[in-house]
Structure 1
Amino acid sequence: MKSKCFSLLLLFLFSLVSIGAYAQVKVEGSVFDETDNPLIGVSVFTEGRKTGTVTNADGHFTIMVPNANSYLTFSYVGYMTQKVQLKGKKILKIVMKEDAELLDEVVVVGYGTQKKINVTGAIAQVDNKELKMAPSGNLSSMLAGRLPGLITKQSSGQPGKDGASLYIRGNGAGDGDPLIVIDGVVTDYFPTFSPDEVESITILKDATAAAVYGVRAAAGVILITTKRGTIQKPTVTVNSSVTLSQNTNFPKFLNGPDYAYWYNTAQRLDGVAEESLRFTANEIDRIENPGDNEAVYGNTDWFDLLFKNVAPAYTNNVSVSGGTERLKFFASVGAYNQEGVIDHTSYDKYNFRSNMDAKVTDNFDLSLDLSGYVSEDNEPGASAGKGSYASIFQQAMLSYPYLKAYSPSGLPVGSLNLDGNGNNNPVAARDLSGKNTIKKTYFQGNISMKYKLPFVKGLSLKLNASYVKNYTMQKKYFLPYDLDCWNQSTRAWGVQKGRIASKASLNQWFTESQGYTIQPTIEYSNKFGKHAVSGLFLYEYSRTDESSLSAGREDFPITDIMDMSYGLTVNENLVKGGHGLDRRAGYVFRFNYSYDDKYLLEVTSRIDASTALPKKYRWGVFPGVSVGWRVSQEDFFKEAVPFMENLKVRASAGRLGSDRSISNTMTYFSTATLSKDPIVMFGSDPQKYLGLSRPINPNLKWELTDTYNVGIESSMWNGLLGVELDVFYMKTTRSLEKQSGNFPLSLGDYFPAYINYGSHDNRGFELVLTHHNRVKDSNYSIRGNVSWARNKILKMTEDANVPNYMRSTGRPMGEYWGFVAEGLFQTEEEIAHSAVYGPTLPGDIKLKDINGDGKITYDQDRVPIGRSSTPEMMFGLNLAGEWKGIDFSMLLQGAALFDVNLCGVYADVGYDNTFYTKPFYCDGNTPYYLVENSWRPDHTNADYPRLGIVSRENGGKMSSWWVEDGAYVRLKSLQVGYTLPTKWTAAAGIKKVRAYFAGGNLLTLSHLKHLDPEMPGVNQGYYPQQRTFEFGLNISF
């Protein structure tokens, strides 16, 4: 009976399955584009089910659906998604329409926007969506690896100073810094406002793209466009995150016992007798095993005391946007509060923005933008920054790890070197040395009016006006503090003042700048059949006034209130002030023409004037022209290459100018100086007078840069593969150079300081590959870019007596110069038969005698030994995807073809001894990697020269031994987010809730195992780059 019932149950279940299976309906069909070409790889799936299929090479598909009234969804990159109800149909023909938004995608160009398909210049753009994939922080550092042609270099992780240096297409003309334009307003520095305010960032790379900015665009232009309101109900967006940061790659320094061991070992290799070694056996034992009663020796990790394990940063931003046909608005307020991994280092910034667009009448538009921020940057009186004398980092490296942190008296311990100097203690310097505060206030206001003339179609008048105010106040005070210093030579304690200051002092600096820009404009745009014409004529006038004032006092009897009035002694060297004025005027012309959206032409020109040049050469003309051919619009191409929906070939040529190398207004007139002593000039009373320190140069002219660019853009298989390639050449002439080598010494300094003489060129390419696809209910994208640029000096002022092999002409800019290392000396005999630089021992660097005179000399044997520290090649690989509310993004960024110099800031004068190149440099501490891999008689195949204490001549000079390949790859950012389903949040009136995790600088692969490849070339230490872990929440109402 039970068996029979079980059999009936199985039969029933089988029947249900069978009925379900037989109820499914087979549907087939084909998918075409609007020109009746089959589409390959279109995703086809049934609504409410996870199963689906894709079209084959003929655009055909077959799918099983639940019933004859089911819905099918068709999606394809570059086309509008379609949802179709079967209504009993079993054979379908689907025609997909191109996504109009993609076709009409616009990009920001100088003084306007253009459709991307019609752009003929070399530009690159990143939008807010991609910027939000980067961890919170400095806006400039977010651009690394995202824009082809942009070189970034971030050399510090210090709060408020962690921005990246930016170069477009390598070391460009002028001062090499690109021009920064925010919503049409030129500024001299990259902004620090929140990425939540930014809609897009565009770089203009060739002459026609940048020529409209003329005078200051020779090194490229970065356009920053902020967000604006759209026609929608008001939407409130809240973005909040917490970021934890820690040091990335920082070398491990010797602990107390190891310091004593390696120091004695180094002395033995120098030939020091055992009884004269610095550390006795008893002292080494006390260092290794300090008892409770030990008063002197111990094992102190100064870097561990200096650094926090993690430091937090808090980002909060609230924005509201929306609008109607008549009024659109965007407003935001934000706060960014960052603590450093070193106590008393911090950065706080508060920003606001309000952008409003009003359609006053059908023909009259009005826009008003207001924005600004206040910031405060704090660090101890002893600088935490890079390369500063007596900085916290320098003191940490000079402090002995074998001493206790505090003496028996309770005072912080100071480390004196063997000469009795130094007074180093990084923790005391951090906590007791005073404070350095920089406060900035920035305001920018823009107003724009546009009137469309009703009697001429396409003609409009526009007026832009902007005002910028920037105020900076720096207050730096030093406080003296006592250290109980241990003198290793005398083995005695002695109280001394800390290294930073012997008495309390206060220094203050004030700088203020304000400026305005006016831009009246005539615009025209119209279409006549297949002919499309647009144009722009603009006049621009700008004026910037700058003023500065500084003062200082010393001997403060009360240090609780550090105000200038309380100091007893005036620091006369710091009492000074100044004023600067910069005025510019220019006319901009741009003409665009296209025929049938196939053949494109753009002609631009700017006529500029600058008060930095003498009147007769004050005006300059900077033209540009570009052409484009949309080959994919030709009928023959559509038939021959049906899978390529877009192919555009473009070329440009033009001239750009620069006066940015000129350090101050009226440089052609030089700077007047006040005479030291009064003399009788008129009458009988002695008077001081203003005079010229050197003759004027009335012939200074614009620096000129001619640029040429050829590019190709293509898109295949409806967006599955995109390719963009640019090849360029730039030549800069009449660059400003000092000319001391052109006059005899008998003239002293009495000759014009600068002339237009130098010349250099720059060439390279940029390649971008993209892939976008949608598979069922997920989509992903891959975007890779690589840029390469190399420059060469064509002409420069050089001393006539310099040998040809020591000349810079014909070589790349920024190369490292020094001696050529041929290995390490292994024996005394080898030394005896070689040219050397001073006393030399086995294990020292063997330097090459370039001129063959049997001597190593600074003036005759130095040659190029390394590439510039600015990378010739930058690359980035961006991966992103979404699936059922989960989003993912990852950026791999890297650089190559550049070198890192371990030799410090003094390399150009022949010295290279630093904490990273010489064991126990300045009697301080040493990284483990340096001593463990130094040359010793039992370790001759070494990475570093001999281990020793005594100064080494051959090893102590700048040589190729200390130049390392700086190539690296970073996992620059990684982000994973989840957006809650709308059905969960809609009932509460919430449009969107997204939580995410983001990481920055998570992994670095580099030949430099112990140091960061982007570190600055300093010998006083540097604030390490930071690895970040961010947790954030985005909510929209």
Structure 2
Amino acid sequence: MIISIQFSKSLKDRPLFRLNTTPTEIKLVSAENNYTISSANTSLSRKKLIFTEVSDWIASVDMRFKFLLLIPLLLVCLNSFSQRKQISLNFRETSYERIIHEIEKQSRYRFFYEQSGLNLNAKISIQVESESISEILDKLFTNSPYSYQQIDRHIILTQNKSYSPEQTGVKHSKTIKGIVTNPNNETIPGVVVIIKNTTTGTITDRDGFYRVEVPVNTDSLQFSYVGMKKVDVGVGKSQHIDVILEPDVMNVDEVVIVGYGAQRKSDLTGAITTIEVDGVKRIPVSGIDQALQGKAAGVLITSNSGSPGGGTSVRIRGIGTVNNNNPLFVIDGIPTDDIRFLNIGDIENIEILKDASATAIYGNRGANGVILINTKKGIPGSPVVTADAYIGISDVWKNPKLGDSKQFAAINNLAVKNGKEIEGDGAYQYIEDFKDPDQFIGGTNWWEQITRKAIVQNHQVTVSGGGESNKYLLSISYLNQNGTIIGSEFDRLTFRINNEYKLSKRATIAFNTNISNANRKTIQEDDLDGGIIFTSMVLDPITSGEERSIYDPIRVKYGEFSRWYESVYSNKLNPVAQIGRSLNNWNQLRFFGNISFDFELLNNLTYHTTFGLDVRRTDFDNFMPTYWMDSDSKNDINRVEKNSGKNIDWVYENMLTYKNTFNKYHNLVALVGMTAEQGNLDVIEASKRNVPGNEEYLRYLSAATSDANVTGDISDYALISYLSRINYSYNSIYLLTASIRADGSSRFTGSGKWGYFPSVSGGWRISGEKFFSALNLSKSIDDLKIRIGWGQVGNQNIADNAFRTLIAGGNSRRYLFGNTISQGYAPINIGNPNLTWETTESTNLGIDFVLSKNKISGSLDVYDKKTKDMLLRLPVPLSTGLPGSPWTNAGDIQNKGIEFLLNYRNKVNALNYNINFNISTYRNRVLSLGGGEPIKGGEDRLGYTTKTMVGHQIGQFYGYIVEGVFQNQNEIDAANKLPTEGEFYQDKLTRPGDFKFRDLNGDGKITAEDRGFIGSPHPDFIYGITGTAEYRQFDFSLFLQGSQGGDIFNVFKYYTHQNTGYFNAPADMLQKAWHGEGTTNSNFQISASTANNNLRPSSWYIENGSFIRIKNVQIGYNLNKWVCKKIGIAECRIYISGQNLYTFTPYSGLDPELADMTGNPLNSGIDFAKYPQSRTILTGVNLKF
């Protein structure tokens, strides 16, 4: 019979209803608000119909998002929606009624059935992971007592009339379950378990457990996991199979990330280094660049500053230009030049591309090498939560030995006495207090006043999971570092969402985003006038380090910023007062992310597109309060300053990749694509003076009343590129890679706008040849491959408008025209329309080997890298009237080097250990400067201290050569025997105890022409040693970083050896100084006189910068599994770690690790009292839930 029902209200967008009655067949047909019920039960009537409202939610979502920031939240929502569609069940001998209830609980599907006539108590076992409703229904109701019919989200159940109970005795499948662990009996989540030669299978859960339904005739299961050896296990009649996976860190079939793709490690032909990420994560530093120090051959990373949040200088295979030498960083496919925002705990893998055959695919961005970083992605399965935290204490690893007040008085007393003998009444007068140095006891140690023990801490929580068609990872981290010098601090809050959604078998969409907020407080360093570190080491120790009493009239009258005492003798500012008045803060809010889409057009052809966005808002706030310390050290009018910059960079990429294998042995991968990118920088700087007070709530521009000054600047650039690459291999024995990229840059014009950068490389995997096995070489050599490559890459690291002549106005360019002040304009640079690309050509020869059954592996590379058409600003005479030196293409530089990597691993019973050693060297030489004059660098009040000229290295130290010390007057007289009357070898006032400088040009006297090269900042070689060990539940790691050779120009000596009564000096200066004939031939006499100019730039300043540093030591312990389960966690590891524990070095300064001063390679190795690196002892914990 048929019954029609008319509802009084429209059911559009309203809850559906369940029918509770007794029909044997039901069909629901809806049209607007009319519902027709068809049933074979003739006794059914309207009055017997009972409707029960079913909770069903329909939501509308406004898809018109206005901000890209909301995209990750949308994808998380999509993730949740997809999980409601994908259902997971795990029931054994459970009633259909309970299973149906669980399906309704996980999804929006609703079951309709005859409650009184249909018994759902029959039991069944089912185990599915993230499957669709149709797949689940088939498994539930095939050969079951029930039939079903699906209409949209409604499933109607009826009795299966053809069902025969005998069918239940036929088994077509069986369930296999087990646990997967590593050799340490630790469970492994995320292991892929499949029926061999099929795609049917599952993955292990967070406890390493798996359950898989297989046909009864299945032969074997295959278990695979990244970094572990693949295992095939026979099934037979087994229903429980436990598996142990062995590490396979040297697997030649490991996939390595390369530019715009991935390759098997065995097929690589370029010079690429893979970084072991787990070891990097153990190093407690703020930036990934710091953690990479000493980890890769050919990569020199030095600290720009030891202050919290301080950056580094990264050099891959030497210095190829006098401009920016930092490599290109590519994070999840998006290029950037600053990675300090990145949380180390979010990183999955790191690859370093070093030679041109590997970097040419990046064209103009690859001249200095490329570092590829991929962040973690979600692992399908139930959500896994990990928590990592550490906290520790940092202090300075080395304290300078400075004179106390007694030594200060004695040194200056002697200096004045010896100076008076030469200069008579013109010498500095005795300071009455110094006549009796013994009256002084102790004094103020200003280094101790500015240093402290500082807290460092880091906390991170990560959630990862997903289903068959989606994966997600969310993490949040917080890092806080207090500096070992008061007034310095860094903190960073980072939030990451990585989401991947499989739209179909062929289409995938992914989103990776990182949002960070960083704050940094800094001190003034690398400054010989107001630098905090410099001042603390030269300020006289007699000045009090205590604060004035709160009742002191000065403090009462002038406020809190006047509570410090000023120096008594040194004419230097109190460094503690400087820090107290240095109220500056750097802040950066950054969004960095991309959205990508992959679509398999054909079986072998894939399309990939990515849009990446990097948005930075950077603010710098500074406030200089009013204060009074004495008549020479005061500030009567306070000042507030705010600088703000906004960067918006985007990149858009489209790639087509074709992969195929022909006739079994011929493997081909072809890539074509295009990229476009644009960057914009908008900067505004504003300052005003005369704020009503020094209070924090008044430190705003609007509160100041005078001297307003506002400036701003806008710059942008654009780049469009076309690229192609072909990878071919024959049976993985003969390998070939070729690429070409064309770049068009807005930084050039005319014929110089486009640059073309080709590369080609090949490899011969000798171990794959038949003769290799025939000669029994394979018994000891597991893998052996020779590589050779050549390529060209470009560099465009110059100002955005270097080819244009720019003019500007402003207050400084106003002029008087008649009686009116008019605005004038003048050039601020001279453009060069003929500028073009700087090109680096590189040749590389390498060999990779694996020996002794994977126990030993390594590589050896030899390279020759030449840069031509170097972008330079050659000096021009001041008489030209030009506002500055124009950019030009002039100069060639060559770098040659050798890199060696060796890794050894072994297992002895329960002990697993690994030793990694890398060493590299490079030789740098200037081939041409375009006919221009040598380039001077390291300029200071001493004069220039470096010189770059043809035939020498970049930025070699330049000055006089000290041959020794004049021991007596006879030596001086002999040197002064010149043919011209009245001329002297050095100076007429030269006396015993003064330096004797070498006469390089042989004219019998010391002049500026006697300066020469006195040292080089480039190390002879650099190296790193890493050792790790695991024994049962304990683990241990040791990392040593070293540099041999490489000189340092210790400018600090100039000020600590002036002896003029102003500056403090080293505590041992009295003992080391010349005190008479034969006492020393290395140091001059203490004297206030500078007649001989002993402190001119000379080889006396040059010191050996070699060092070996205990970079990191860590000991960890993994709790037993049963202990973890008792406290409700899956895994727990606790550890203690030490960073920068000790440095062995002959260098007398604070830290032998020096980067380029101001980022300029012409100024490398000059020590201006840099913030030293800190020693840190910490403890931490790694948890998994």
Q: TM (normalized to structure 1)?
A: 0.82
Q: Does 1:287 align with 2:440?
A: yes
Q: Does 1:387 align with 2:527?
A: yes
> Paired residue for 1:470, among 616, 641, 660?
616
Q: Does 1:597 align with 2:732?
A: yes
Query: In 1, Cα distance between the equivalents of 2:434 and 2:927?
Result: 62
CA contact (8 A) 1:229 1:322 kept: yes
| Structure-2 residue corresponding to 1:658 | 795
| Structure-1 residue corresponding to 2:507 | 364
| Structure-1 residue corresponding to 2:833 | 698
Counterpart of 2:1075 in structure 1: which amino acid?
Answer: R
| Structure-2 residue corresponding to 1:531 | 666
CA contact (8 A) 2:926 2:953 kept: yes
> Paired residue for 1:853, among 992, 998, 1003?
1003
> Aligned in 2, Cα 1:926/1:571: closer, same or farther, shift over 3 Å?
farther
| Structure-1 residue corresponding to 2:925 | 792
CA contact (8 A) 2:591 2:616 kept: yes
Query: In 2, Cα distance between the equivalents of 1:798 and 1:757?
Result: 8
Counterpart of 2:496 in structure 1: which amino acid?
Answer: R
CA contact (8 A) 1:243 1:314 kept: yes
| Structure-2 residue corresponding to 1:903 | 1051
> Paired residue for 2:445, among 301, 313, 322?
301
Q: Unpaired runs of 5+ in structure 2?
A: 1-182, 186-226, 236-244, 556-562, 937-945, 976-984, 1156-1164
| Structure-2 residue corresponding to 1:91 | none
Query: In 1, Cα distance between the equivalents of 2:1175 and 2:764?
Result: 46
Q: 1:215, CA displacement in angstroms?
A: 0.6
| Structure-2 residue corresponding to 1:754 | 887
> Aligned in 2, Cα 1:181/1:191: closer, same or farther, shift over 3 Å?
farther
| Structure-1 residue corresponding to 2:431 | 278
Q: 1:217, CA displacement in angstroms?
A: 0.9
Q: Deviations over 1:561-603 (max 9, x none)?
A: 211112222253xx21000011001011111000111111101
CA contact (8 A) 1:668 1:697 kept: yes
Q: 1:137, CA displacement in angstroms?
A: 3.1
| Structure-1 residue corresponding to 2:14 | none
- State the SS of the aligned residue for 2:972: helix
> Paired residue for 1:342, among 480, 485, 489?
485
CA contact (8 A) 2:968 2:1077 kept: no
Q: 1:774, CA displacement in angstroms?
A: 1.2
Segment of structure 1 superposing worse, 955-964 or 336-345: 336-345
Q: Does 1:968 align with 2:1111?
A: no
| Structure-1 residue corresponding to 2:1094 | 955
> Paired residue for 1:983, among 1122, 1128, 1134?
1122
> Paired residue for 1:720, among 828, 847, 855?
855
> Aligned in 2, Cα 1:628/1:1001: closer, same or farther, shift over 3 Å?
same
Q: Deviations over 1:996-1033 (max 9, x none)?
A: 11111112111114532114666763322111111100
- State the SS of the aligned residue for 1:787: strand
Q: Deviations over 1:924-963 (max 9, x none)?
A: 1112244432222277225432222233543211111211
Where do 1:584-623 residues align within 5 Å? 584-623=719-758
> Aligned in 2, Cα 1:188/1:281: closer, same or farther, shift over 3 Å?
closer
Query: In 1, Cα distance between the equivalents of 2:803 and 2:434?
Result: 68
Q: Deviations over 1:731-778 (max 9, x none)?
A: 11101122345xx77533289712211111110011001101111122
Q: 1:617, CA displacement in angstroms?
A: 1.4
CA contact (8 A) 1:367 1:448 kept: yes
> Aligned in 2, Cα 1:281/1:1024: closer, same or farther, shift over 3 Å?
closer
| Structure-2 residue corresponding to 1:208 | 357
- State the SS of the aligned residue for 1:669: coil
Q: Deviations over 1:651-678 (max 9, x none)?
A: 1001111111x2x213111322338347
CA contact (8 A) 1:843 1:940 kept: no
Q: Does 1:822 align with 2:963?
A: yes
Query: In 2, Cα distance between the equivalents of 1:97 and 1:369?
Result: 32
Query: In 1, Cα distance between the equivalents of 2:265 and 2:528?
Result: 47
Q: Does 1:228 align with 2:377?
A: yes
CA contact (8 A) 2:628 2:636 kept: no
Counterpart of 2:533 in structure 1: which amino acid?
Answer: F
> Paired residue for 2:312, among 164, 169, 172?
164
> Aligned in 2, Cα 1:837/1:584: closer, same or farther, shift over 3 Å?
farther
> Paired residue for 1:505, among 639, 646, 651?
639
Counterpart of 1:1028 in structure 2: which amino acid?
Answer: T
Segment of structure 1 superposing worse, 698-707 or 827-836: 827-836
Counterpart of 1:216 in structure 2: which amino acid?
Answer: R
Counterpart of 2:498 in structure 1: which amino acid?
Answer: N
> Paired residue for 1:646, among 756, 780, 783?
783
Q: Deviations over 1:240-272 (max 9, x none)?
A: 100211101231211112211222233333346
Q: 1:504, CA displacement in angstroms?
A: 1.2
| Structure-2 residue corresponding to 1:116 | 265
Q: Does 1:437 align with 2:585?
A: yes
- State the SS of the aligned residue for 1:361: coil
Where do 1:418-437 residues align within 5 Å? 422=571, 424-431=573-580, 433-437=581-585
Segment of structure 1 superposing worse, 845-854 or 274-283: 274-283
| Structure-1 residue corresponding to 2:406 | 257
> Aligned in 2, Cα 1:629/1:800: closer, same or farther, shift over 3 Å?
closer
Query: In 1, Cα distance between the equivalents of 2:753 and 2:1113?
Result: 50
> Paired residue for 1:104, among 242, 249, 253?
253
Q: 1:442, CA displacement in angstroms?
A: 0.8
More contact order relative to length (CA 8 Å, sep ≥ 6): 1
CA contact (8 A) 1:480 1:498 kept: no
Counterpart of 1:496 in structure 2: which amino acid?
Answer: S
Counterpart of 2:952 in structure 1: which amino acid?
Answer: R
Where do 1:241-256 residues align within 5 Å? 241-256=390-405
> Aligned in 2, Cα 1:617/1:275: closer, same or farther, shift over 3 Å?
closer
> Aligned in 2, Cα 1:462/1:1019: closer, same or farther, shift over 3 Å?
closer
| Structure-2 residue corresponding to 1:482 | 628
Counterpart of 2:590 in structure 1: which amino acid?
Answer: Y
Q: 1:385, CA displacement in angstroms?
A: 2.7
Query: In 1, Cα distance between the equivalents of 2:606 and 2:400?
Result: 62
| Structure-1 residue corresponding to 2:994 | 844
| Structure-1 residue corresponding to 2:86 | none
CA contact (8 A) 2:947 2:956 kept: no
Counterpart of 2:512 in structure 1: which amino acid?
Answer: D
- State the SS of the aligned residue for 2:918: strand
- State the SS of the aligned residue for 1:258: helix
| Structure-1 residue corresponding to 2:686 | 551
CA contact (8 A) 1:396 1:424 kept: no
- State the SS of the aligned residue for 2:1010: coil
Counterpart of 1:792 in structure 2: which amino acid?
Answer: R
- State the SS of the aligned residue for 2:1090: coil
Q: Does 1:517 align with 2:666?
A: no
Q: Which protein shows a greater Rg?
A: 2
| Structure-2 residue corresponding to 1:772 | 905
Measured on the aligned residues, the alpha-carbon RMSD in Å equals: 3.2
Counterpart of 1:302 in structure 2: which amino acid?
Answer: W
Q: Does 1:405 align with 2:545?
A: yes
> Aligned in 2, Cα 1:942/1:332: closer, same or farther, shift over 3 Å?
farther
Counterpart of 2:1001 in structure 1: which amino acid?
Answer: N
> Paired residue for 1:152, among 284, 301, 308?
301
CA contact (8 A) 1:558 1:566 kept: no
> Paired residue for 1:708, among 831, 843, 859?
843
> Aligned in 2, Cα 1:474/1:233: closer, same or farther, shift over 3 Å?
same
Q: 1:457, CA displacement in angstroms?
A: 2.2
Q: Deviations over 1:432-456 (max 9, x none)?
A: x140100111101200001001xx3
Query: In 2, Cα distance between the equivalents of 1:674 and 1:276?
Result: 51
Q: Deviations over 1:591-643 (max 9, x none)?
A: 10001111111011110011111132101110000101111011111232121
Segment of structure 1 superposing worse, 240-249 or 920-929: 920-929
